[in-house]
Amino acid sequence: MSQGSSSAAPRRTLVVGAARSGKSAFAEKLAADAGGAVRYVATAVPDPADSEFAERIAGHRARRPADWSTIESADPATILSAPDNPSDVTLIDDIGTWLTARLDTRDAWDAPRGTITPDTDALIAAVAAYRHRLVIVTPEVGMGVIPATRSGRLFRDEIGTLNQRLAQVCDEAFFLVVGLPQRLK
């Protein structure tokens, strides 16, 4: 969306893909190509004892341009709902780590389904109301075998429903397979 086209629809893009599909790199390219200042919202809550995850986070940080601002937050709905937006483009990476943090925070792994509905509703409302360029990265986990654990099935079901809702409020959606984007919408 160009700076002067206030009548144009907001551009909210959902980027979906499996692990190591290239979805984050593709989303970063979309954000960079949009022009202007980029605000990167990293939703991961790092565990100091998990060195492998720390290496993944470091890889993402190293890949980002130095002039991008980064906010590490497990609450993207609040960031999107803030009255002032210092950037032309906001990139959220990723919804899967956000969902995991919400399930942890609400101690919902063994709770009844729907325990985190207020959180997902708030995120959907914030995305739908957002009036600037937005790129959202989320994992696709429903194409494999049925998870053997309750927590695995819970995550798969919650992210699947959340991804459908995000796709409904986004203007476009891409699915990444082996590094190749496929336009869905």
Give catalytic residues, as residue numbers: 60
Provide the sign of the torsion angle of the four alpha carbons 91, 77, 183, 163, taken in this order: positive
d(CA 111, CA 102): 12
DSSP 29-41: HHHHHT-S-EEEE
| Residue 98 Cα distances to 2, 15, 39, angstroms | 30, 15, 17
Angstrom distance (rounded) from CA 53 to CA 119: 24
Residue type, 2: S
Tokens at residue 112, please? 């009844």
Phi, psi (rounded to 5 degrees) for 137: -105, 135
47 CB neighbour count, 10 Å cutoff? 9
User: Residue 120 contacts by C-beta under 8 Å, 6 or more apart in sequence?
Assistant: 102, 158, 161, 162, 165
